[in-house]
Amino acid sequence: NAGVTQTPKFQVLKTGQSMTLQCAQDMNHNSMYWYRQDPGMGLRLIYYSASEGTTDKGEVPNGYNVSRLNKREFSLRLESAAPSQTSVYFCASSESGNHYEQYFGPGTRLTVT
């Protein structure tokens, strides 16, 4: 099992450009998440999807959109990148329920200039 995979690993964008971060999991999990990690701030939830066909906002959704393409895939889109979106982005998945751990991908390091 590959677990959670993310592409790309690194990306540099200019202000105003758009891009989509891809995430896929092969563990048959219902729930998937997108986080951003900034120095000194831990991880903050951007969006999540509790099941195929549903998405909801997390703590910091502004400037982002998501698509739950199917049970395996959950993409994050930046329509018009801003320097404040420079961060490391992590995708995660889990079974449903609060006792279950989340499994994380390796991350995408995004720099917006």
Partner 1 sequence: GNSVTQMEGPVTLSEEAFLTINCTYTATGYPSLFWYVQYPGEGLQLLLKATKADDKGSNKGFEATYRKETTSFHLEKGSVQVSDSAVYFCALTYNNNDMRFGAGTRLTVKP
Binding footprint of partner 1 on the chain (CB under 8 A): 4, 31, 33, 40-45, 48, 50, 56, 58, 90, 92, 94-107
CB of 9 to partner 1, least distance (A): 9
Q: Where are the beta strands (DSSP E) in the chain?
A: 4-7, 10-13, 19-25, 31-37, 43-49, 56-57, 64-68, 74-78, 87-94, 103-104, 108-112
Closer residue to partner 1 (CB): 86 or 102: 102
- 13, 19 contact by CB (below 8 A): yes
CB of 6 to partner 1, least distance (A): 8
CB of 17 to partner 1, least distance (A): 25
* Cα distance between residue 101 and residue 65, in whole Å: 25
Closer residue to partner 1 (CB): 17 or 43: 43
